[in-house]
Amino acid sequence: MTLSKRTAKRHFSFILYLSFIIMQRGRRSPATILRQLLLVSRTPLFSNKNCAPKKLYAANPLPLFEDENDGKTKTEWKKRRQTTADELKPPTTNTNTNQQFSMLTDTFNRHHDYLRISLTERCNLRCLYCMPEDGIDLAPKDDLLTTEEIERLVKLFAKEGGVRKVRLTGGEPTVRKDLTDIVERISRIDGIEHVAMTTNGVALKSKLDALKRNGLKSINVSLDSLVKAKFEFMTRRDGLEKVLKSIDEAIRIGIETVKVNVVVVRGQNDDELLDFVQFAKEKPVNVRFIEYMPFNGNKWETRKMVSYAEMFDTIQKKYPSIARIPDETKSEVGKNFQIDDFQGTVSFVTSMTNHFCGGCNRLRILADGNLKVCLFGNAEVSLRDAMRVDNASDDDLKAIVEGAVKRKKAKHAGMENLAFMENRSMIRIGG
């Protein structure tokens, strides 16, 4: 009997995984091992099912990139990549008429009033799509921005740049001991209207009261599976119960907005789309299905990405009444939908198949103090070194930030190129 290369690879990987599970058996119950084997036998690597995307770009009324990409080699991708006339055109912008805040207005007249700050590179989970298998080299603690440095930068961005919203992220922001203090300092800053946080929710529940008291308005909780074994597989850790309790507590104490972020990966959790829609039916939360994005070390493949169009089709078949909620702002990243009398809503974050660069209003400060003007671009500038090494004044910092913002490109490199570009791993960016 001859085995195809693909089948041989599958068998080899299965044996490897089996050995791993047996090695771990002392630490897991037989029921957990059985569940994990069942689960893993359904993932693309191990399953006989054809896992090619059913439909990456559907013939439906949703605005998507045209073109397809399956079956192309890396070299073919690169060859196909040319700057198009369209890319040279300025994007539709969130126009800034207020020249007072020119520090954060780029050459395409996009004004950036939303700052995302990563507080740490550490995390209490190890999500497959985020944390590289071999882990990451953590920056030493002294290399991270201090509470005071974060406060100074937010003051500058609010005063000189007109930043109004700050999101704290990570790694996992709840592992940082001064989290509640940071929230309090930021929410007191003149001009800051909204402090939000993205968290995996594992260690959130006991902190929620203090966070709310100190000014936290909204949270996004990442949750990729409602099935315990699958949660453990995708995050390489236990914790589903804790995350669910945190979500319930956030609703109970009246956090203004509670969103649930679901990164959809084919063969892992795409069979749970309707379960998550049911979640939005029963709870006043916004469930956001996020297209799987490529970052360093996350083993992204086109076939693993489930497009917005495909997700939408699946949901619309069960809920034909699903209706688009008009965007409140031009910088809305989610396409938001209401279904019947649901308590919650569902959204799609379509960074891969329908980017929203034209309305981008976001900047990122990473835990080590680097300013990153685009999630998918690798251009960074160290504000920490400017402050610590060069003793920069606020005017110096303003000039550095303005220079970086003015160099921001019109849009990201396109789905077909992102996978081959050098970028940080997501855990060191923060979403």
Q: Applying CB under 6 A, which residues contact ligand SF4? A: 123, 125-127, 130-131, 170-172, 200, 222, 426-427
Tell me the closest approach of the beta carbon of residue 325 to ligand SAM, in angstroms: 21
Tell me the closest approach of the beta carbon of residue 220 to ligand SAM, in angstroms: 6
Judged by CB under 6 A, how many residues of this single chain contact ligand SAM?
Answer: 21
268 contributes a contact to ligand SAM by CB under 6 A: no
Residue 276 contacts which entry, ligand SF4, ligand SAM, none (Cβ below 5-8 A, type-dependent): none
Residue 359 contacts which entry, ligand SAM, ligand SF4, none (Cβ below 5-8 A, type-dependent): none
Binding region for ligand SAM (CB under 6 A) out of 192-200, 225-233, 236-244, 399-407: 192-200
CA distances from 339 to 120, 280, 306, 427 (A): 37, 9, 21, 33
Residue 420 CA to residue 295 CA, distance in Å, equals 9
Nearer to ligand SAM, 36 or 198 (CB): 198
- Applying the rule CB under 6 A, the residues between 398 and 427 that interact with ligand SAM are 426-427
Tell me the closest approach of the beta carbon of residue 175 to ligand SAM, in angstroms: 9
295 contributes a contact to ligand SAM by CB under 6 A: yes
Binding region for ligand SAM (CB under 6 A) out of 64-72, 168-176, 269-277, 412-420: 168-176
Tell me the closest approach of the beta carbon of residue 234 to ligand SF4, in angstroms: 9
Residue 217 CA to residue 287 CA, distance in Å, equals 17
Residue 127 CA to residue 271 CA, distance in Å, equals 18
Tell me the closest approach of the beta carbon of residue 323 to ligand SAM, in angstroms: 25
Tell me which residue of 2, 302, 367, 335 sits closest to 153, measured CA to CA.
Answer: 367
Tell me the closest approach of the beta carbon of residue 128 to ligand SF4, in angstroms: 9
Residue 6 CA to residue 134 CA, distance in Å, equals 24
Residue 425 CA to residue 123 CA, distance in Å, equals 13
Residue 349 CA to residue 201 CA, distance in Å, equals 20
DSSP 285-339: -EEEEEE----TTS---GGGBPPHHHHHHHHHHH-TT-EEPPPSSTT--EEEEE-
What are the φ and ψ backbone dihedral angles of 290, each rounded to 5 degrees? -110, 130
Nearer to ligand SAM, 295 or 337 (CB): 295
Residue with token string 């290399």:
143
Residue 106 CA to residue 401 CA, distance in Å, equals 11
Nearer to ligand SF4, 96 or 298 (CB): 298
235 contributes a contact to ligand SAM by CB under 6 A: no
Residue 342 contacts which entry, ligand SF4, ligand SAM, none (Cβ below 5-8 A, type-dependent): none
Nearer to ligand SF4, 113 or 272 (CB): 272
Tell me the closest approach of the beta carbon of residue 240 to ligand SF4, in angstroms: 13
Tell me the closest approach of the beta carbon of residue 207 to ligand SAM, in angstroms: 14
Tell me the closest approach of the beta carbon of residue 311 to ligand SAM, in angstroms: 13
Binder among 40, 56, 166, 263 for ligand SAM (CB under 6 A): 263
**Contact status, residue 149 vs residue 117, Cβ threshold 8 Å:** no
Cα 153 → chain centroid: 23
Residue 108 contacts which entry, ligand SF4, ligand SAM, none (Cβ below 5-8 A, type-dependent): none
Instruction: Indicate the DSSP class of residue 345.
Output: E
Strand order across the beta sheet in which 194-199 lies: 323-324, 334-338, 345-349, 286-291, 257-264, 216-222, 194-199, 165-169, 114-118, 362-365, 370-372, 380-382
Nearer to ligand SAM, 93 or 351 (CB): 351
Tell me which residue of 153, 210, 150, 206 sits closest to 180, measured CA to CA.
Answer: 210
Nearer to ligand SF4, 231 or 308 (CB): 231
Tell me the closest approach of the beta carbon of residue 408 to ligand SF4, in angstroms: 24
CA quadruple 57, 413, 125, 133: dihedral sign: positive
Tell me which residue of 389, 386, 330, 407 sits closest to 361, measured CA to CA.
Answer: 330
Residue 369 contacts which entry, ligand SF4, ligand SAM, none (Cβ below 5-8 A, type-dependent): none
Binder among 96, 120, 200, 345 for ligand SAM (CB under 6 A): 200
**Contact status, residue 180 vs residue 152, Cβ threshold 8 Å:** no
- Applying the rule CB under 6 A, the residues between 107 and 146 that interact with ligand SAM are 123, 129-130
Interface residues toward ligand SAM, by CB under 6 A: 123, 129-130, 169-170, 172, 198-200, 222, 261, 263, 290, 292-293, 295, 298, 426-427, 430-431
